[in-house]
Each structure stands twice: as structure tokens, then as C-alpha cells.
Structure 1
Amino acid sequence: MKVLALEDNKELAGSIHDFLSMAGYICELAENVAQAKNKLLSFAYDCILLDIMLPDGSGLDLLKFIKAEKIQSGVLIISAKEALDDKIKGLESGADDYLTKPFHLSELHARLRAIYRRKHSNGNNSNIISFNEISLNTDTIQAFINNQLLDITRKEFELLMYFVVNKNRVLSKQAIAAHLWGDYTDNLANLDFVYQHVKNLRKKISLLNGADYIDTVYGLGYRFTAAETEA
């Protein structure tokens, strides 16, 4: 999962970053609304941790921006404010959940996982993401093609999940690299490793007779293109 944490308290932001990184997430930080907007327009995030009180504005204003730009990330408000009005405004503006400071990082982690599951699951098991013959278990980090276990690395699992939850969207090599490895890849001149990961994933899916939904969009990147199988 890739998370953007918008928090101006550097100590708290650092703690969140370190905790989520140790949990296997990619966590990026922004300390004000302007930085957050730039990141949201450049990269895709699964979840956004959003403080309300910020140096250059309100997190509630950023929620309006997220809605206007049709950004599909889950949003968890984290704020020292305990007023009921703030919670209601945040939820009515599009937030998925609200966590009041101070909080335990383990609770933050649980809330993020719950938001992610609600956003991307379809079916009765909230840890299962399915598309046609593809099934992804986000708890066990396992992928199945036609009910057969797919032999892939964790990065390949994350890449496949990124494609599935963003189907029919063109994803640039830079966006894929940043999603899987963080935005330190911004200054890399060569992103051929993305091509290699996509190639390996295609090959492994093909070995289990899975369909090749990944289209190359020349000059732009890749698109996971397919129609849902009718029941």
C-alpha cells in the first residue's frame, strides 16, 4: 500500500513514516497543503492521512480538492481536534474515517487496512480483491490465476494489485516506479526495471493460462484493460 501522510508535526510525521515503512508500506510525507496537492497531482496513493490544522490552510479544503480532482484515494483524518463538528464536516466532505490525536500507531495501521479493504474489495471476504480469473489476497500476499497459486515476488504482487485496482487507467512508468519503490525514483534517467517487472508478471500469468490484460501504451506507460466477466 502507498500512503501519503499530510502532517506538519515533524516528530509525529517521522514516527508514522518509520512505523508504516517497517510494516511494508511506502509512506511519503507532506507538511502543508501545497506540497500535498503537488504530490496528489503527480502520483497515485492508496490512502491519505490528513491533518486538519495545517500551516497554509485546512485539511478540509484539501478534501474538496481531492473530490474536485476525482482522486480515488482513501482518506483518514488525523487531528487533535475532538469537536464533533469537525468530524462531521470531514466525513461529509469525503473522508473515510477519523482518528483523534493522540493515537496508537497500531490503531492507525488497523484503520488504514480497513479503509483499503472497503475501497478495493468486492465480494464477501474483505481481504480478497478479484477480477475475472485473478484473485488477490491482501492478508497473505498471495495471487491466484484460475484458482492456481501464482509464483510471484512481493513487488510483482503489488504491481498486479496496482494494475487491478486501477484498471482502464494509463499508468506511466514513473507512476509505477514511484508506487512500488517510492518517489526517490524521480531523478532516475532509466526506468527499464519497470519494463522487466511487467514482462516477468505477464510471463508468470501466461504460464497459468491467464489472460494478458496489460497493454503497452507507447510513449506513456501501461494500461490494465478488460471488461468484467458477466455473471
Structure 2
Amino acid sequence: MKILIVEDEPSLREIMVRTLTREQYVVEQAADYAAALDKIAAYDYDCILLDIMLPGGSGLRLLEELKRRRSPAAVIIISARDSLDDKIEGLELGADDYLSKPFHLAELSARIRSVLRRHQRGGYESLDAGNVRLWPDSRRVEVAGREVELLRKEYDILHYFMSRPNHTVDKTALAEGVWGDHIDQADNFDFVYAQMKNLRRKLHDAGADIEIRAVYGFGYKLVQP
């Protein structure tokens, strides 16, 4: 899961980054409208935490831009303003939730899990493809009802594909989605190939009837029976 934090208060931003990273999200950050716009244009996010009190009213402008682009990301507004009018305006502009400052980090984490369930899984508790079932809240994977042990990045790759059924995924987009936007500093994609090879082997050995198939010259695609 990839999260973008758009917050101009450095101390709060860093606290949220540390907390969500420990919870095994891929977390990126932006301190202003321009930086956030650049990231949104370049990458796909599962959830965006947006402070609408950015200077010059740019927080609401960013929310309007997300709506205009039909961004698939869930959006949680975080704001020091707690008026009913502000909440209504933010929700009508397309936000999925509204969290007033100050807030407990445990509540923030719970809100993120909640909007991701609603936004990406239509309220279902699991992701399913063929005889494979993935439980995002507990990071468990089952094949035909039997649990399969995956390493963290193997799980993240599988989750990435099961959240995007029938999509052909470029290897660069996959690397950025699972490892974050610092991936451009890597010399090659050998680490992606290694993790993918291990994941495909484990799924095959467990009797999975889905396959993450290589698409020559492009990337990968999850193929279901």
C-alpha cells in the first residue's frame, strides 16, 4: 500500500511518516501544493492524507485537482478546522474521510484501514483471485484455504497485483509502487526479478490457479483462471 502525506508542518509530517512506515506502508511526503501535484502526476497512490490548510487555500485546490483527474486514491482530510461547513465542503469535493487535529496516531491508522477497505475492496474483508485469498489487515495469504508464508515484499507484490486485476503493470511502476519513489536511484531491477521469481514459485508450489505472467518487453500481468 502506498500513501502520500501532504502536510506543511514538518514535525507532524515526520511523525506520520515514521508511524505508517512501521505499519509497512510505502510512505511518501509533500510539503506544499506544487510538490504534491508533481507526485500525483508521476505515481499512483492508494491513500492521500491531505491537510486542507496548506497556504493560500491550496489544500482544497489540490482536492479539486484530484477530483478532476479522477484519481483512484482514497483521500483523508486532516485539518485544524473542525467546522461542519469545512467537513461538508471537503466531503463534497470527493474526500473519503475527515480527521480533525489534534488526533491520535492510532485513530489515523484505523481511518486509513477503513477507507482502504471501502475504497478498494467495496467493503469486503479480503481480496480474492482464483483460489488465492489475501487478507490486507493481517497480511495473510491463503491458497485453497491453506495459509502460505510470504516475505514482506513478496506479499506487497501480490497485493499490488490483486488490487489491480486485469492490469498489465510496467516493471518500473511495480518497483515504484512497492519500493517507493527512491527506486530511481537503483542501478537495475534485479531485486524486482528476484522477489517476483520467489513469489511465483511459492504460488505454484502452493497450488495457486492464478499466475503473475511476464509480458515480454513490458512487465507483468495477473492471469486468473
* Aligned match for 1:167, one of 154, 165, 168: 165
Aligned residues: 225
1:195 maps to 193
Of 172-181 and 86-95, deviating more is: 172-181
Deviation at 1:2, TM superposition (A): 1.7
C-alpha distance 169-55 of structure 1, shift in aligned 2 (>3 A):
farther
2:44 maps to 44
Aligned mates of 2:34, 2:91 — CA distance in 1:
22
2:217 maps to 219
SS at match of 2:82: coil
2:66 maps to 66
TM-score by length of 1: 0.89
Of 59-68 and 102-111, deviating more is: 59-68
Deviation at 1:57, TM superposition (A): 4.4
Question: Could you tell me which amino acid in structure 2 is paired with residue 104 of structure 1?
Answer: H
Aligned mates of 1:66, 1:168 — CA distance in 2:
24
The alignment-based identity, stated in percent, is 42
Of 5-14 and 113-122, deviating more is: 113-122
Aligned-CA RMSD value: 1.9
Q: Deviations over 1:159-188 (max 9, x none)?
A: 111101112223222222222222221221
Stretches of structure 1 lacking an aligned partner (at least 5 in a row): none
Of 39-48 and 7-16, deviating more is: 39-48
Aligned mates of 1:53, 1:218 — CA distance in 2:
46
C-alpha distance 70-168 of structure 1, shift in aligned 2 (>3 A):
farther
Q: Deviations over 1:139-178 (max 9, x none)?
A: 3211111212223112111111110111222322222222
Aligned mates of 1:168, 1:63 — CA distance in 2:
28
Aligned mates of 2:84, 2:150 — CA distance in 1:
46
1:135 maps to 133
Runs of 4+ in 1 over 6 A off after TM superposition: none
SS at match of 1:196: helix
Of 60-69 and 79-88, deviating more is: 60-69
